[in-house]
Amino acid sequence: MPKKIEADATFETGFFESILRNNPSDTTVLELLGGLYTRQGRIMDGLRVDRRLVRLQPDNATAHYNLACSLALMKRTADALRTLRRAVSLGYHDFEFMAEDPDLASLRKHPEFRRLLVAPPASA
């Protein structure tokens, strides 16, 4: 990451962390912070944020999708696939993006991942 972008990301991360200290349930800030952590390579921090979002919004398909991405980045294949199935059952249907999402690269050769792209489940 170039120094200017890295400095901007560090500033943004600190800014959003300070907002979160005052309002720990702000889901918009959590989503932004989770994305920042992941882009900075802070995968474990991103995973914690994604888990928190799913607890706060258990029916949010995108929150489950982001959690699946974090789990895949951590090489937790079974958990990632289970969570991805849940995201799809909740309404996540951007299969074209899912097929190309670099966060899910570790799942691409898995038969269950390919089945999700072809015949999404009706429920998890």
| Domain at 89, CATH number | 1.25.40.10
Per-residue pLDDT, averaged over 115-121, amounts to: 74
Look up residue 21 and give its amino acid. R
Q: Is the pLDDT of residue 5 over 90?
A: no
Place of tokens 């979002």: 53
122: confidence class by pLDDT, cuts 50, 70, 90: low
Query: Which pLDDT tens digit goes with each residue over 12-29?
Result: 899 999 999 999 999 999
DSSP states of 70-95: HHHHTT-HHHHHHHHHHHHHTT---H
9: confidence class by pLDDT, cuts 50, 70, 90: confident
Q: Is residue 123 part of a domain?
A: no
- What separation in angstroms does the CA of 123 have from each of 61, 86, 92, 106, 109? 12, 7, 12, 24, 23
Question: Domain tally for the chain?
Answer: 1
pTM of the model: 0.86
**How does the average pLDDT of the chain come out, rounded?**
90
Which residue range forms the structural domain that includes residue 8?
Answer: 3-118
Q: Is the pLDDT of residue 58 over 90?
A: yes
Q: Is residue 124 part of a domain?
A: no
